[in-house]
Amino acid sequence: MNQNIQKYYIDIIVYLERHRIPRPLYVFWDGERYKVDRIISVKKTFSKAGGCGLRYDCLINGHRRALFLEREGKWFIESDIPDYNRVYEDYAE
C-alpha cells in the first residue's frame, strides 16, 4: 500500500445551514462531479498530507475518502495518487 499521501485542493458544493458546519454535497475531482453519499464523521484533526482543519470522513461513490476544510475556507482531499498534478497538467495540454 502506498503511504505517500498527498493533498489536492478541490472544488466543492456545500450545504450551509445557519449555525451548523458546512455539509459537502458534491466534489469536483479530475474534471468529474461526485456525489457525497454519506458523511460518516466530522472532527478537528491533522491531515496525513500536512495541514489541519475539519476532517470529513465520507462515502463518495462507495469509497471512503477524507475531505478537509481548512481554516481559510479551502477544501482538499487526501489521495495516494502519485504526481497527480503533473499527470493532470499533461492531460490538459
* Digitized pLDDT (tens) for each residue of the chain, 93 residues in all: 446 888 889 999 999 988 888 999 999 988 899 999 999 999 999 998 888 899 999 999 889 999 999 988 999 998 876 655 544 444 444
Residue of 54, 19, 18 lying closest to 39 (CA atoms): 54
Quote the CA–CA distance of 4 and 68 in Å, as a whole number. Answer: 17
SS3 89: helix
HSE (CB half, 13 Å, CA atoms) of 17?
A: 5
**Beta-strand pair 6-9/11-15:** unpaired
Structural domain spans, the chain = 6-92
Contact 15, 81 (CB under 8 A): no
pTM comes to: 0.79
